[in-house]
Amino acid sequence: MTLQLVLIAAAALFCVGLYGALSQQVVVMVMMGLELMLNGVILAAAAFWWFLAPTPDGQVLLLVVIAAMTVEMAMGFAVATLLHRSRGSDMTDSATDLSG
Amino acid sequence: MLSTIVFSVLAVIALASGIAVFRVDSMARATYALAVSFVAVGALLLMFDLDYIGVITILMMVMEMAIMAIYMIMFMGMNPALMPMSMVHNKRWSAILAVGTFLLLAGGALLVPWPARSGSPATDLTASLGEAIMGSKMLVMLTVSPILFATIVAALVLANPRGRYDRWGDDLQRARPDDPQQGGLGK
Amino acid sequence: MSAAAVNAIGVTSLWLLVGLPALGGIALCITGQRANRMAVPVSLGTAGVTVVSAFVVAFSRPAVEVPFLAGAPFGLAVDGLSAMIVPTVAVVTLAVLVFSAAEGTEAPARFHGLMLIFAAAVAVTATATTLPALLFAWEIMGAMSYALIGFRWREDFRVTAGLTAFITTRTGDLGLYIAAGAALAGGAGLGLANLAAAPSPWRDLIAAGILMAAFGKAAQLPFSFWLSRAMEGPSPVSALLHSAAMVAMGGYLLLRLAPLLEITGWAGPTAAWVGAVTALLLGAVAVAQRDLKQLLAASTAAQLGFVVLAAGIGSVAGGTAHLIAHASTKALLFLAAGAWLSALGTKQLSALRGAAHRWPLVGVTFAVGALSLAGVVPLSLWATKDEVLAGALEASPLLYVVGLAAAALSAAYAGKALVMVWRRPLSNARDEYDTEQPGTRHVGGWERIPLVVLAAGAALSGVLALPPVGNWLRGELGAQSDARPGLLELAGSAVLALLVLGLVAWKRMPQLSWAENWLGLEQATRVLVVTPVLSLSERLACFDDAVLDRGIHAVAREVVRGTRGLARFDDRGLDAAVTATARAGVRAASVAGAADTSGVDAAVEAAARTARLLGSAARRPQTGRLHQYYAQITVVLAVAVVLLLVVR
pLDDT, tens digit (0-9, with 9 covering 90-100), for C195-220: 888 888 888 889 999 999 999 999 88
* Domain regions of chain A by residue span: 3-88
Distance from CA of A26 to the nearest CA of B (A): 7
Rounded average pLDDT over C441-468 = 85
pLDDT digits (tens, 9 = 90+) for C551-593: 889 999 999 999 999 999 888 888 888 999 999 999 999 999 8
Chain A residues touching C627 at Cβ < 8 A:
21-24, 30, 92
Closest chain A residue by Cα to residue C624: A96
pLDDT digits (tens, 9 = 90+) for A12-35: 999 999 998 888 888 888 888 999
* Chain A, chain C: beta-carbon pairs less than 8 Å apart: 22
CATH code linked to domain A3-88? 1.10.287.3510
Reported as a single tens digit per residue, the pLDDT across C468-492 is 888 888 888 877 777 777 888 888 8
Q: Mean pLDDT of all residues in chain C? A: 88
Q: What is the average per-residue pLDDT within B159-170?
A: 80
State which of B18-22, B115-119, C31-35 shows the largest mean pLDDT: B18-22
Taking each helix axis from N to C end, the angle separating A27-51 and A3-23, rounded to the nearest 10 degrees, works out to 170
Q: Which of left, alpha, beta for B77 (phi over 0: left; psi -120 to 50: alpha)?
A: left
- Percentage above 70 pLDDT, chain C: 100
Region C397-411 average pLDDT = 91
Determine if the pTM surpasses 0.80.
no
Which residue type does B155 have? Answer: A
* Amino acid identity for residue C617 in this structure: A
Distance from the B173 Cα atom to the nearest Cα atom in chain A, whole angstroms? 26
The answer to whether residues C254 and C312 touch, using CB atoms and an 8 Å cutoff, is yes
pLDDT at C115 over 70: yes
pLDDT more than 90, % of chain C = 38
Give the confidence band of C334 by pLDDT, cuts at 50, 70, 90.
very high
User: Which residues make Cβ contacts (< 8 Å) with residue C356, sequence separation at least 6?
Assistant: C362, C363, C364, C366, C367, C421, C422
Q: How confident is the model at residue C162, as a pLDDT?
A: 92
Contact B101 C638 (CB under 8 A): yes
State the pLDDT confidence band at C86, using cuts at 50, 70 and 90. Answer: very high
Total H helices, total E strands in chain B: 7, 0
List, in sequence order, every residue forming a beta bridge with C74; answer none if it has no partner. C66
Whether the predicted pLDDT of C229 surpasses 80: yes
- Nearest by CB to residue C627, choosing from B89, B101, B104, is B89
pLDDT at B85: 53
Q: What is the distance between the alpha carbons of residues C531 and C545, in angstroms, rounded to a whole number? A: 21
* Separation of alpha carbons C28 and C47, rounded Å: 14
Question: B82 pLDDT exceeds 60?
Answer: no
The mean-pLDDT minimum among B157-166, C85-94, C277-286 falls in: B157-166
Contact list in A for residue B30 (CB cut-off 8 A) is 29, 32
Find the DSSP H helices in B48-90.
51-76
pLDDT band for C89, please (50, 70, 90 cuts): very high
- Reported confidence tier of residue C635, pLDDT bands at 50, 70, 90: confident
Q: Does the pLDDT value for residue C117 go beyond 70?
A: yes
pLDDT confidence tier of residue B86, bands split at 50, 70 and 90: low
* Residue C242 and residue C301 in contact, taking contact as beta carbons nearer than 8 Å: no
Tell me: the pLDDT tens digits for C597-629?
888 888 898 999 999 999 998 888 777 777 778
pLDDT digits (tens, 9 = 90+) for C21-62: 999 999 999 998 888 888 899 999 999 999 999 999 998 888
Q: What is the distance between the alpha carbons of residues C580 and C573, in angstroms, rounded to a whole number?
A: 10
Are the CB atoms for C220 and C304 separated by under 8 Å?
A: yes
Of C420, C267, C213, C429, the C-alpha closest to C337 is C420
**Which of A21, A93, A95 lies closest to C630 in CB terms?**
A21
Q: Which residues in chain B have Cβ-Cβ distances shorter than 8 Å to C634?
A: 97, 101
Residue C571 DSSP code: I
**C631 vs B101: CB contact, 8 Å cut-off?**
no
Q: Is the peptide bond before B180 cis (omega within 30 degrees of 0)?
A: no
Question: Looking at CA atoms only, how far is residue C648 from chain B in angstroms?
Answer: 13
What single string gives the DSSP state of each residue in C380-398?
Answer: HHHHHHHHHHHHHHHH-HH
CB contact under 8 A, A96 and C625: yes
pLDDT tens, C145-170? 999 999 998 888 999 999 999 999 99
